[in-house]
A and B are shown apart, each in its own frame.
Chain A
Amino acid sequence: MSDVVNVTMKVNGTDVSHAIAPRNTLADFLRQTLELTGTHTGCEMGVCGACLVVLDGRVVHSCLTFAVQASGSTIETVEGLSERAAIADLQEAFHQRNALQCGFCTPGMLMTAHSLLSQPGVPSREDIRDALSGNYCRCTGYEAIVDAIEMVARKRHDGAAAPQNEEVGA
């Protein structure tokens, strides 16, 4: 296992280059080599959605992608989206609505929500539930997540700012 290959990619706006074992997945590369631990692995077989990241503008399972396959690509993780405030309104809505408990699925949920809300139009609750069905959550029962995404979808559509400290739920 001494064989290594070089991978080069742009991750969260920064060019990175590392020599890694060819069997390393993108998830392992992000988590272990780059220490971007916001991306999680829940099943390592492309089912649970905890490992979703943005690769060249598409949301992909980083557990099903070898790091070498992603060489030359542009990757964005929850850390990158957070730092450039691309999902600040989603994060705020999740927070206010308590749309997370243990938080392990949350980065993947945010990826799916980010992708869904990048599409034109305002998704219905059924659309949101459908889009989230590649993301498992064992804590929330999903409703609060649907509520939070629906709220952001409407606000974005209405051109309004992200919610500010309003009391939600209950």
Chain B
Amino acid sequence: MSALTPLDRPNSYIGRSVPRPNAKRLLAGRGRYVTDITLPRMLHVAYVRSPYAHARIVSINALAAREMPGVRLVATGEDLAKLCTPWVGTMDHFKGMKSPPQLPLPIDKVVWSGQAVVAVVADTRALAEDAAEAVTIEFDELPAVVDIDAAREPDAPVISPELGSNLCFHGKIDTGGIDEIFTGAAYVVEEEFHFGRHTAVTMEPRAIIADYDASEGQLTVHHATQTPYQFQDIYSRHYGIPESRVRVIAPDIGGSFGMKLHMYHEDMAVVGLSMMLGRPVKYVADRIESFVSDIHARDHRVRARMAADAEGNILAMDVEDVTGIGAFSAYPRTSVVEGNQVYRLMGAPYTFRNYRADLQVVFQNKVQMSQYRAVGHPVACTVTERLVDMIADKTALDVFDIRSRNMIADDAYPCTSPTGYQFEALSHHACLAKLKAMMDYDRLRAEQAELRTKGIHRGIGIATFVEITNPGPAFYGVGGARISSQDGAIIKITPSGDVHCSISVTELGQGTETIIGQIVAEHLGVDSNRIKVMTGDTDTTPHGGATYACRGAGIGGETALQAAKKLKANVLAVAAAILQDEPEKLDIHSGWIVDAATAQQRMELSEIARIAYFRSDTLPPGTQAQLSVAHHYAPQGYPFAFTNGVQACHLELDVETGLVKILKLWVVEDCGRVINPLLVDEQIRGGVVQGLGAAFFEECVYGDNGQLTNGSLADYLVPMAVEMPDIEIGHVETPTLDTQLGAKGVGEAGTAAASAAALNAINDAMKPFGGTVAQVPMTPARILKALGHI
């Protein structure tokens, strides 16, 4: 008989592959997305959008539109500005950053093509769109600021003249002596990288219904968002409605990936429209609108160099990142976090201590750029890992050897990166060794050499990474943003002995409710099928951070764990009073109070609940059963729980056409304690595919005049099943000691390094031809150009 494993304990759910109970509803077509919701007397809004990237609004004529069938309201920027105070997307800890005030709809000028200008509310969306076509807006076109270099020229048109320039933020890091190190280094490699804009393309576009009831002064918003508490705060403050009268409900969400946690102008407008009309107003972005109004991601040009000694020991990095963010910094998280993470994550897996970086965040007449899955990570990872491969080339070291030579040793923790990140414990070497074995690296190299003689060009690329998870208040709170880093849970035992947990982390399909159920089941001692987990409603759950930056499992999970333990202590206190025993001699297994020592069943949990709720007269005098608990947990200790891992990409390049067949991806990841392997692995796979989308397909292509030229799903390419490989995943588990649970985040790990591994693999495949690529997406045209064919 095999030894007892941790999974053999009663109610041991942590570490098990438990399918998601809430997925059955979605499989039956019974999901309830905001797009599906209809309220009595609900109206629909369509927006008239700017055709210009930069223009003054001369006049708006809506007379004809107001007379169209079914039209209830036509509203402009001035109308909404009477209700809604402006917002500014800055945070105090980004010294010197600036951004202009924003309103739901603009009053005197438009600053990107596609910006909503006029709202038309009608009985149906179709009628609203009919009437929107009858609105005429006279614009006076202004020169569009599009290019990130032209935007910084002294004579460039300034998008927001009151700010003085088109520079949103300028950051510098310098550990000193960089020029001398580069001058004296045996090897210096450098490259200019380009990271195209791409966008989330959630399958459900943004959707919102605002329902203002003037009789109670109550605003209820059904909002497809991952952060309902943040929006409760925003709607309350900007519309002057007491927070207790603002309820935000996030039901089933059709994908988010960071995109649905930003303030969008159309969404803010919907709240005002509902207040003006006293009726529910619904807005669902259509796909064309999504492309010109959802945040875009990345948009960086990075010039970077790396110095190494003769043995291939990395000595220093020197980095300049310029990133274009559109005409505003996004609210309330700002558009600087992306660049900040780019220039602070550079070189994070490695031991070198010398680092200089310059970050310029630039305004331009494009849609806003802000946080999307793996904020900044793919950029930092791609730059670092490509330069590491270039050093490997110079020193004739294998790509695995150069990394093992330079990565932080697994026993060197805790330690700090040159940019100030504190690492509690990472496992780069263990992950690298595991990956090498999983992919059978030596065989792949031999096969590569053999196939090259036959004119078949395969590439192998690896990329090691560090991911930021479980952020504390240093992330947003210290900057003045009202975005919580703590979470709260209420767990109660029902009269029949079932368990109800409402918690502030939110479900987007990643499985939050499932893992919270697993944790509560294990730490309370009940079967998981007796637990119901509720999320996504500010009226029924405690205030918390919800879902962002890979915090659900690590922070939400710890909240649930501590709450469950608190409730268990309460239950055992009542049980001890009834059983005339000591609480510490009792335990709970599978919904039964048992002797802790012998596991002998004493009394069912449902019986405790029955007595507590209906026959409290039979309890010993003075006993007040507390079968509901509320508990909050805020991360302490390390400011972030860093995770790490390594990815490998194997692909085949057709050097005649530039087409790429991705053969396989391998990922070894260390997210600390794995709560549900099934869900963790699917987070990684989904993340990898988004990274591969950025690597090969996805790009928002702008013309010189600031027009998005491929803003539809027919023109903008996202990865399809036939193009994607199978992805093999391995784990190393280094639990964080900051929590009892030990879990770190995992949702962004796949995206963090997939494009870096792919880019290294393409360059590896092209090696016999001498060309290199340093731009994503790596389209066939760009690859053919690198190969000198075009």
Interface residues of A (CB under 8 A from B): 1-2, 21, 23, 31-32, 35-45, 47-48, 50, 77-79, 82, 91, 94-96, 98, 100-107, 110, 125-126, 128-130, 132-133, 135-146, 167-170
Contact = CB atoms under 8 A, between A and B. Distances in A.
B689 A110 contact: no
B252 A103 contact: yes
Contact of A142 (B511, B712, B721): B721
B505 to A, nearest CB: 15
A104 B712 CA distance: 19
A38 B30 contact: yes
A145 B726 CA distance: 11
B204 A107 contact: no
A73 to B, nearest CB: 19
Contact of A102 (B35, B127, B255, B286): B255
B685 A40 contact: no
Contacts of B200: 138
A104 B508 CA distance: 11
B287 A42 contact: yes
Interface stretch (B173-181, B295-303, B384-392, B676-684): B676-684
Contact of B718 (A32, A77, A136): A136
B19 interface: yes
A77 B26 CA distance: 14
Q: How large is the interface on B (under 10, 10 to 19, 20 to 34, 35 or more residues)?
A: 35 or more
Contacts of B718: 136, 138
Contacts of B142: none
A63 B580 CA distance: 67
Interface string B700-743: 00000000000011100011111110110000000000000000
A169 B17 contact: yes
B130 A1 contact: yes
The 3 closest A-B pairs by CB, nearest first: A38-B29, A103-B26, A101-B509
Nearest to B674: A170
B353 interface: no
A143 B727 contact: yes
B51 interface: no
B756 interface: no
Contacts, number: 192
Contact of A79 (B29, B287, B722): B29
A44 B286 contact: yes
6 contacts: A48-B203, A101-B682, A102-B508, A104-B255, A132-B722, A133-B720
Nearest to B510: A101
B257 interface: yes
Contact of B204 (A40, A45, A78): A40
A133 B721 contact: yes
Contacts of B70: 1
Contacts of A130: 721-722
A77 to B, nearest CB: 7
A135 B678 CA distance: 23
A53 to B, nearest CB: 11
Nearest to A1: B69
Given A43-B287, A98-B20, A1 B721 contact: no
B159 interface: no
Given A168-B17, A170-B677, 7 more contacts: A35-B38, A36-B29, A45-B714, A133-B723, A136-B720, A140-B689, A141-B687
Interface string B189-201: 0000000000011
A163 to B, nearest CB: 11
Contacts of B286: 44
B686 interface: yes
B19 A95 contact: yes
Interface string B27-44: 111111101101000000
Interface of B: 16-17, 19-20, 23-24, 26-33, 35-36, 38, 69-70, 126-127, 130, 200-205, 252-257, 286-287, 508-511, 677-679, 681-682, 685-690, 712-714, 718-724, 726-727, 750
B587 to A, nearest CB: 26
Contact of A140 (B28, B130, B508, B685): B685
Contacts of B687: 141
A100 B26 contact: yes
A81 B677 CA distance: 31
B721 A42 contact: no
B29 A45 contact: no
Given A48-B713, A101-B509, A169-B677, A143 B726 contact: yes
Contact of B721 (A39, A47, A145): A145
A96 B255 contact: no
Contacts of B205: 42
Given A48-B713, A78-B29, A137-B203, A144 B682 contact: yes
B720 A102 contact: no
B714 A42 contact: no
B496 to A, nearest CB: 24
Nearest to A110: B27
Contacts of A23: 126
A40 B722 contact: no
A36 B750 CA distance: 35
B27 A103 contact: yes
Given A101-B508, A103-B254, A140 B26 contact: no
Contact of B29 (A82, A94, A140): A82
A132 to B, nearest CB: 4
B169 to A, nearest CB: 30
B203 A143 contact: no
Contacts of A77: 29
A103 B23 contact: yes
Contacts of B690: 138
Contacts of B679: 98
B46 to A, nearest CB: 14
Contacts of B686: 101, 138-141
A68 to B, nearest CB: 15
A82 B726 CA distance: 29
Contacts of B33: 37, 40, 104
A139 B714 contact: no
Contacts of B16: 167
Nearest to B724: A142
Given A38-B31, A45-B287, A95-B19, A169 B714 contact: no
Given A1-B69, A139-B509, A95 B203 contact: no
B509 A38 contact: no
A102 B260 CA distance: 13
A7 to B, nearest CB: 16
A103 to B, nearest CB: 3
A130 B723 CA distance: 9
Nearest to B514: A98
Contacts of B714: 43, 45, 47
Nearest to A82: B28
Contacts of A110: 27
B571 to A, nearest CB: 29
Nearest to A103: B26
Contacts of A104: 31, 33, 202-204, 254-255
Contact of B254 (A102, A129, A133, A145): A102
A1 B254 contact: no
Contacts of B69: 1-2
A46 to B, nearest CB: 8
B203 A136 contact: yes
A107 to B, nearest CB: 5
B721 A146 contact: yes
B685 A50 contact: no
Nearest to B678: A169
A37 B254 CA distance: 13
Contacts of B685: 140-141, 143-144
